[in-house]
Amino acid sequence: MQVTYWLEHAWLDPEVEPGVLVEVADDGRIAAVRKGIEAPPPGAVVLRGFTIPGLANAHSHAFHRALRSTVQVGSGTFWTWRETMYQVASRLTPDTYHALARAVYAEMALAGITAVGEFHYLHHAPGGTPYDDPNAMGEALIAAAAEAGIRITLLDTAYLSSGFGAAPNRHQTRFSDGTAEAWAHRCSALKERDHARIGAAIHSVRAVPARELGTVARWAEERRAPLHVHLSEQTAENEACLDAYGMTPTRLLSEYGVLGPRTTGVHNTHLTDDDIALLGATGTGTCMCPTTERDLADGIGPALALQRAGSPLSLGSDSHAVIDLLEEARAMELDERLRTRTRGHWTAAALLRAATVDGHAAIGWDEAGRIEPGALADLATVALDSVRTVGAVPRLAAETVVFAASAADVRHVVVGGRHVVRDGAHALVPDVPSSLASAIASLRHG
């Protein structure tokens, strides 16, 4: 049904505008945007605060949400963290994954996220036996997103090796289809829906042998689908790739036709100057996940150099140490300040673009991320009167939201014109904390 929203303040990139009327058509797209409307007209739904396009979480592993706090105990590295992750992965079934993902995606909605790129590699039953429906786990994620009221791009992931051709270990047999051809056959059966699109992913150069990379790249190219890959997240991966192939992971991906404007490298942390130039020249995107990268002590990636070279930036919450895209945007700038000891590498508007329009483009929703006619009517409203945001000048609302607000300040979320979060409460999942608690408890005691 048609609906009209009155936005007290709105980000019409690059400006903050007071009194904006957004008319939504039957198809869930914006039909008209009218500025200078001082008061809400009769029948309009009022969104008080600062409304931005819905946020795009371009990199998620939904089941990692069950690791929060558990993996913050003690010391270690990415590799020791991974062992804990495997334990949680081993306990998931399609039903328990659906329950967990539904709660996680509802948490995302409460944080202003209207679309998620789910980097999905947990395909099969323990031991690697396919379910009766070989895509049961992916279907569980697609259904979970629908029930939580957000959009999803299922980035179905090829994961074939424990490292540079070695067979999957006992934890990874659930992830593997055996060959890239078998992966392609399975994920070709996945169907897109109004709220769901299907993309592809290469887990990493260590998990997909070089001879198999082209099969995944061609599958994505034929469908003009997004293609994501964990890239140079760890120095150990770079060193092993040099030993195996005599080149960096980025160069290897280039040699096998993986790079390009529909491809996004996730993390892109430990790159050479040649790697940065390759990614920029091919228009390959970069998804930064600062809260995960710092949680795992991975390092600070060269985001600024990548963007200057021509690599569009997006943001993800990855391991869900926190789910807060405003914090991801803020962290990208603040990490760069710590690295360089200078300030102001990105404007608030540039960081919002990474979290909205460029994030949506990275996961194949090019028609989202803007408040303009023809765009999907996906909106997120952040309070300007919370203890964190009050006192700011409205014309600096973008700076306030990026550098002071948190997910807790999100008041309203609209997806396709439907009010999914109203006054901070989820309209479809009545008790998100209880849903999270029960889903996580079932995995810990399973």
Residues near 394 by beta carbon (within 8 Å), at least 6 away in sequence: 9, 16, 18, 50, 384
Residue numbers in the chain where pLDDT is lower than 50: none
DSSP 315-339: E--BT-SS--HHHHHHHHHHHHHHH
Instruction: Tell me whether residue 13 is one of the annotated catalytic residues.
Output: no
pLDDT of residue 443: 87
Maximum distance among all alpha carbons in the chain? Answer: 68
Catalytic residue, chosen from 267, 320, 345, 426, is: 267
Instruction: Tell me whether residue 267 is one of the annotated catalytic residues.
Output: yes
Q: Following CA atoms 68, 72, 73, 78 in sequence, which dihedral angle do they give, to the nearest 10 degrees?
A: 110
Catalytic residue, chosen from 156, 275, 318, 335, is: 318
pLDDT of residue 79: 63
Phi, psi of 422 (to 5 degrees): -125, 120
DSSP code of 39?
S
* pLDDT tens for each residue of 230-263: 999 999 999 999 999 999 999 999 999 999 999 9
Number of H helices, E strands in the chain: 15, 16
pLDDT of residue 90: 85
pLDDT of residue 85: 80
From CA 86, how far away is CA 358, in angstroms rounded?
A: 31
Both tokens of residue 388?
């964190």
pTM of the complete model: 0.96
pLDDT of residue 71: 72
